[in-house]
Chain A
Amino acid sequence: AQKVTQAQTEISVVEKEDVTLDCVYETRDTTYYLFWYKQPPSGELVFLIRRNSFDEQNEISGRYSWNFQKSTSSFNFTITASQVVDSAVYFCALRTLNAGNMLTFGGGTRLMVKP
């Protein structure tokens, strides 16, 4: 069985601060995919990144960066110089190779960026 844990239920920062959202996953499969999604108040889940289990390279996209470490089963997400528009709920998700398109989501982290 798969499991994704986002221990931080809510984080509050002041604009321009850096913030890291933690994600820890569990799976016995050797091939899997990890995702981050953003859910603004409108409700739609917005895809941010996908990472496969064979690619441990960290990735940076503008103010966003992701740190994937298989040794600790973690896939953390950092926002540098946060902005008010980053306020949303962020979800980490896992999909294994044999599970079709079924995503197992973590509980989400609500990020509030205050001006």
Chain B
Amino acid sequence: KAGVTQTPRYLIKTRGQQVTLSCSPISGHRSVSWYQQTPGQGLQFLFEYFSETQRNKGNFPGRFSGRQFSNSRSEMNVSTLELGDSALYLCASSPEAGEGNEQFFGPGTRLTVL
């Protein structure tokens, strides 16, 4: 089975722009979660989607949004980029919601905001 894929792998944007990141989960997985990783704040949960519905949301401003499509692929969008949004964005997929399921992570998208 192919693993979790994320595109693009690297991205450079300037302040004020918006960006869309994409995540394709492992085939058959219906839950997709997004995390932001920065040197200062570490790994922080952004949101989780399951069956096209947002199940959980972390403590991030409304500039961060996401969606999930019927094929379980997910996108996250960041509008009005700020310098502090520079980070590694990781996507994780899981077969089902909750319980003890492991989450499998993709390679991440490294976003640099200039």
Residue of A nearest to B99 (CB): A97
The listed residue (A42, A101, A104) touching B33 by CB distance below 8 A is A101
Docked-complex contact A107 and B97, CB < 8 angstroms = no
In the assembled complex, B66 has its CB within 8 A of some CB on chain A: no
Question: What class of interface size applies to chain A in its complex with B?
Answer: 20 to 34
What is the CB-to-nearest-CB distance from A29 to chain B, in angstroms, rounded to a whole number? 12
In the assembled complex, A20 has its CB within 8 A of some CB on chain B: no
Docked-complex contact A101 and B108, CB < 8 angstroms = no
Within 8 A of B (CB), among A71-115: 91, 97-108
The listed residue (A43, A47, A52, A108) touching B110 by CB distance below 8 A is A43
Docked-complex contact B90 and A45, CB < 8 angstroms = yes
**Given known A42-B107, A43-B88, A43-B107, contact A33–B31 (CB-CB < 8 A):** no
Within 8 A of A (CB), among B34-89: 35, 42-45, 48, 50, 55-56, 58, 88
Residue of A37, A101, A106 contacting most chain B CB atoms (<10 Å): A101
Docked-complex contact B100 and A33, CB < 8 angstroms = yes
Docked-complex contact A100 and B103, CB < 8 angstroms = no
Interface membership of chain A positions 35-75, coded 1 if the CB is closer than 8 angstroms to chain B and 0 otherwise: 10100001111110010100000000000000000000000
Docked-complex contact A47 and B104, CB < 8 angstroms = yes
Docked-complex contact A100 and B50, CB < 8 angstroms = yes
Docked-complex contact A101 and B107, CB < 8 angstroms = no
22 contacting pairs across A/B (C-beta < 8 A): A43-B90, A43-B110, A44-B108, A45-B92, A45-B105, A47-B102, A47-B105, A97-B98, A99-B98, A100-B48, A100-B97, A101-B48, A101-B50, A101-B94, A101-B101, A101-B103, A102-B58, A103-B45, A105-B35, A105-B43, A106-B42, A107-B42
New A-B pairs, 6, CB < 8 Å, besides A44-B107, A102-B33, A103-B43: A44-B108, A99-B56, A100-B48, A101-B55, A101-B94, A106-B42
The 5 A-B pairs of least Cβ separation, nearest first, read: A45-B105, A105-B43, A44-B107, A100-B55, A100-B56
Interface residues in chain B, defined as those with a beta carbon under 8 Å from any beta carbon in chain A: 31, 33, 35, 42-45, 48, 50, 55-56, 58, 88, 90, 92, 94, 97-108, 110
